[in-house]
Amino acid sequence: MNTGSHGAGADRVDTLDIPTTRAWIDAVARAVTAHRDELTELDAAIGDADHGANLQRGFAAVETAIGGLGYAPETVGQLLGKVGMTLISKVGGASGPLYGSAFRALGRQLTTPEADGHQLTLALQAGLDAVRALGGATTGDKTMVDALAPAVAAFGEAITAGGDLGAAAHAAVDAAEAGARATTPLQARKGRASYLGERSIGHQDPGATSTALIFAALAEVLQPHG
Ligand code: ADP
Ligand code: MG
């Protein structure tokens, strides 16, 4: 599906085009459905047991919004901006505005039909900045930022080192999963889980877990093929 492969080798994927961006969002929708119960259980432990349902509802609405025959975005950013708007309007929980703002920030950065590694790195940094600005969380507060921040850093480092988008996405997945696991011993300082105080210790953060799923979906669609 990705027609952007070029450069050093036929098995490199160096650009993210609109069809592959759609495939990413489709893969996220599948992943949040497949992991809905796991996300719900994590949120039951330190929140209100709706994170799985929130994301499933949100991405189902996204699939409807971008799946219509008449919807033909001209840039990667238009598509991701619509994803963000839909999440903001359809998800009531904290994660809807947070992820929605992140996708909208990606959308504002990616103003061309294909995005390269440098553009994507800047866009992901803008997404992280948007989450931080809206939620006020920093690394160590036991939120999605604990997965997102290291994932964005790892993505950018892989691109700087000459890796293709697939390599960068894989590095981001590893960093996001490690960041999510590292939330377990932390006490929550932001969001609903912070109301539990010390009782939030010993549970993995649901939003950090779903952030890792979103990067895993990106890595899945950036596999070389052909
Ligand atoms: P709610 O907490 O409103 O029920 P969700 O259950 O969908 O919303 O999402 C909870 C997740 O949102 C948390 O696990 C955490 O990762 C993330 N989150 C909550 N508040 C913040 C915040 N201020 N900054 C960053 N992430 C946050
Ligand atoms: Mg919740």
The verdict on residue 130 lying in a domain is yes
What is the CA 201 to chain-centroid distance, rounded?
Answer: 24
Atom of ligand 1 nearest to the CA of 146: 16
**The model scores a pTM over 0.85:** yes
Query: pLDDT class for 225, splitting at 50, 70, 90?
Result: low
Query: pLDDT class for 6, splitting at 50, 70, 90?
Result: very low
The verdict on residue 6 lying in a domain is no
Residue 66 class from Cβ within 10 Å (0-12 exposed, 13-18 middle, 19+ buried)? buried
What CATH number is associated with residue 122? Answer: 1.25.40.340
Which pLDDT belongs to residue 8? 53
Which pLDDT belongs to residue 11? 85
52 secondary structure, DSSP code: H
Ligand 1 mean position, distance from CA 226 (Å): 39
How confident is the prediction for the chain on average, in pLDDT?
95
Residues with CB under 5 A from ligand 2 (ion): 43, 47-48, 50-51, 93
Query: pLDDT class for 10, splitting at 50, 70, 90?
Result: low
Q: Within 136-201, where are the H helices?
A: 145-160, 165-181
The verdict on residue 2 lying in a domain is no
The verdict on residue 27 lying in a domain is yes
The verdict on residue 189 lying in a domain is yes
Nearest CA to ligand 1 atom 27: 143
Cα 32 from Cα 140, distance rounded (Å):
24
Lining residues, ligand 1, CB within 6 Å:
43, 47-48, 50-51, 54, 93-95, 98, 131, 135-137, 143-145, 190-192, 205-208
Give the count of domains, the chain: 1
The verdict on residue 174 lying in a domain is yes
pLDDT in tens, 95-118: 999 999 999 999 999 999 999 999
Which of 115-123's residues contact partners 24+ apart within 8 Å by CB, and which partners?
A: 115/15, 115/16, 115/76, 116/14, 116/15, 117/14, 117/159, 117/163, 117/164, 117/165, 117/168, 118/159, 120/16, 120/155, 120/159, 120/165, 120/168, 121/152, 121/155, 121/156, 121/159, 121/168, 123/77
Range of the domain at 45: 15-221
| Range name among 47-56, 79-88, 171-180, 216-225 with the lowest pLDDT average | 216-225
Q: Round to the nearest angstrom and report the end-to-end CA distance of the chain.
A: 9
Q: Quote the tokens at residue 173.
A: 């997945």
* Mean pLDDT computed over 145-163: 98
The verdict on residue 113 lying in a domain is yes
